[in-house]
Structures are given as structure tokens and as C-alpha cells.
Amino acid sequence: MKPFFIAAGFAFVASTAVAEMTLGFQWGDIPRCTTGRPNTVANPEFVLGGVPQGTNRIVFKLKDLDVPNYNHGGGTLKVQMSGSGRIPSGVFKYKSPCPPSGRHTYEWTATAKKGNQTLATAKAARQYP
């Protein structure tokens, strides 16, 4: 994964008493795919909460919980942030959800890091299609 540097476009709110990091997302306007051959698409918009103070990098990774060994990829964002905010769509590319038949459950993981230290992890899952 290539790191991405983000300097603007975030609306972060400082938070002083947050119990845990949270992650939310919607699939957005990705092309419908049910062939088992994923498209390379832009990341969805992510909504983060409770990002720990000192975070300088957030690593995103997508996993198909029904086929966990398939690598959908993700992205790494270099940021200085804490509290809550939105990561806009289109910051990195990944392999879209594309189950060969039926519905699969996909899980995004966001890991807040400071250097090599993991500060917090948040997960959010949705079915597709």
C-alpha cells in the first residue's frame, strides 16, 4: 500500500473524553459487481470518531468475511488528527466487493497509528450487494 498525504479537506472536531474509536461507511457509487472479479475503485467516504490524540497515520483494510483470504487491499493516510472527522471518497483505490454469488459481508478496519505503535482500531461491516 502506498501512503497518502492529506493536508486539507477534513473537518475534525477535538474530543476530550472518547471511550473508543469508531468507523462508519456507505458503499457509495461503486459499480455493481457480482462476478467474483472485483473492480478497482475509489475508497468510500469514512466517518471516524474517537481517533486518539497523537495519531499520525490511519491504515484502512477491507476484508470479505465470507472469503477472508482474498486481498481487497486498502490504503494508508498520513494525517495529524484526533477526535472525529470524515475521510473523503477517492483518497485511495482498492478492489471492490464482488461476490460470485449471493451476498457477502465485508468489513473495513481502520487502525490509528503513531509511528509503529497501534493506538486504536475500529471496524465496520456491511453486506454487499
Is the pLDDT at 16 greater than 60? The verdict is no
Q: Which of 67, 99, 93, 88 is nearest to 9 (CA)?
A: 88
Convert 83-110 to b/e letters by CB count within 10 Å (16 or more is b): bbbebebebbebbbbbbeeeebebbbbb
Give per-residue pLDDT as tens, 60-82. Answer: 999 999 999 999 999 999 998 89
Is the pLDDT at 1 greater than 80? The verdict is no
Contact between 109 and 75 (Cβ < 8 Å): no
3-state DSSP: the chain helix, strand, coil percent, rounded to 5? Answer: 0, 55, 45
Q: Looking at the 3D structure of the chain, how many domains does it have?
A: 1
pLDDT over 90 percentage in the chain: 83
Range of 75's domain?
Answer: 3-13+22-128
CATH classification at residue 39? 3.90.280.10
Q: pTM of the entire structure? A: 0.85
Give per-residue pLDDT as tens, 83-128. Answer: 999 999 999 999 999 999 899 999 999 999 999 999 999 999 999 9
Is the pLDDT at 40 greater than 90? The verdict is yes
pLDDT value for 52: 98
Place of cell 483518497: 91
User: Residues 34, 39, 40, CA angle at the centre, nearest 5°?
Assistant: 155
Is the pLDDT at 30 greater than 70? The verdict is yes
